[in-house]
Structure 1
Amino acid sequence: MTRPLHNRGAGSGMDMALLQARLAATRGEVPVGAVLLDAQGAVLAQAGNRVEELQDPSAHAEMLVMREAVRQRQGRRLADCTLVVSLEPCPMCAAAMAHFRVGRLVFGAYDPKGGAVEHGARLPYRAETLHRPEIVGGVCEREAAELLKSFFQTLRGEGGGRGG
């Protein structure tokens, strides 16, 4: 199960992930942001969702930062890294975390509909999972959830509609 992390500082990177989420929203993307930190807390990569911009359903913030980090490091494992994301990862991103061997996941808002860490498939807890990261959920949960709520209220108010 997740442990709440109450200290926003402590190198959690959540402020940076929330900034990336806000920037994604300004581009018309679902406001999810992610940051990947190395073992010393240095930023390896940061991104917001780019699904609409790239017309790529896999261009979630988490996927973008994991791909960029392995490209930079010239190695496919991120066991010494922390993935900080503003929203509980979906099934695709949770499965990718196992393949990238991410050492620690810190996320903001819980996602009862689309999440796959604490909801739905709960992939990190399944017996057949390749790798289980340390998981810390609910960091800046209220702020992360409000970004999403506001984005979708605005989208619905404009008569638009978008999946995922």
Structure 2
Amino acid sequence: MSRDEEFMRVALMLAREAKEAGEVPVGAVVVYNGEIIASAKNRREGNRCATAHAELLAIEQACAVRGGWRLFGCELYVTLEPCVMCAGAAINARLDRVIFGTPDLRFGALGSLVDINSLGLNHKLRITGGVLEEECRAILQEFFRERR
């Protein structure tokens, strides 16, 4: 198992926890020097807050752990391609890299629908997509199938 797969498996575990709580199943972890320093799952329903996406919650935790808003040297692993809000937060936090599982054709902001990374902003993310893509897609499909 690759390093990316190892950390994505942790994010998938968090996505499963989100699903069990009735949340859209997305999980995220922030890694620094090969160690997970923050982890979160979607909490929009539970927190009754539109910004309680797994990525934002994990970035907020990582900032607290690192003692500042600049997350140089950190990587964000997330089961679903980040939306514009979350991709913007990743850029603003100066994350080195974002690794996502499955593309989000409806809201994805790192290449699927839009590519925020190509806008010439003052920081550019390294992006890796498709890590454990099938597993990440399957949990989302199952969640939405159960809702219909």
Do Structure 1 and Structure 2 share a fold, with TM-score over 0.5? yes
Q: State the match for 1:159 in structure 2.
A: none
CA RMSD across the alignment:
1.0
Q: State the match for 1:155 in structure 2.
A: 147
CA distance in structure 2 between the aligned counterparts of 1:69 and 1:137, rounded to whole angstroms: 22
* Structure 1 contact 11–41 (Cα < 8 Å) conserved: no
Classify the secondary structure of the residue corresponding to 2:3: coil
* Structure 2 contact 104–113 (Cα < 8 Å) conserved: no
Runs ≥4 residues deviating over 2 A: none
Unaligned runs of 5+ in 2: none
TM-score by length of 1: 0.87
For the pair 1:85 / 2:85, whether they are aligned, the reply is no
Q: Percent identity, aligned pairs only? A: 40
**Count of residue correspondences:** 147
For the pair 1:20 / 2:14, whether they are aligned, the reply is yes
* Structure 1 contact 87–107 (Cα < 8 Å) conserved: yes
Q: State the match for 1:48 in structure 2.
A: 41
* Structure 1 contact 34–83 (Cα < 8 Å) conserved: yes
Amino acid at match of 1:140: L
Amino acid at match of 1:20: L
Structure with max Cα Rg? 1
CA distance in structure 2 between the aligned counterparts of 1:41 and 1:54, rounded to whole angstroms: 30
* Structure 2 contact 101–136 (Cα < 8 Å) conserved: yes
Classify the secondary structure of the residue corresponding to 2:30: strand
TM-score by length of 2: 0.96
Aligned with residue 102 of structure 1, among 88, 92, 95: 95
Amino acid at match of 2:28: A
CA distance in structure 1 between the aligned counterparts of 2:3 and 2:139, rounded to whole angstroms: 23
* Structure 1 contact 36–84 (Cα < 8 Å) conserved: yes
Matches within 5 A, 1:114-133: 114-127=107-120, 129-133=121-125
CA distance in structure 1 between the aligned counterparts of 2:118 and 2:10, rounded to whole angstroms: 27
Offset of residue 75 of structure 1: 0.9
CA distance in structure 2 between the aligned counterparts of 1:15 and 1:120, rounded to whole angstroms: 25
Unaligned runs of 5+ in 1: 1-7, 157-164
* Structure 1 contact 50–61 (Cα < 8 Å) conserved: yes
* Structure 2 contact 74–97 (Cα < 8 Å) conserved: yes
Offset of residue 152 of structure 1: 0.2
Comparing both structures, which one devotes a greater share of its residues to helix?
2
CA distance in structure 1 between the aligned counterparts of 2:16 and 2:69, rounded to whole angstroms: 29
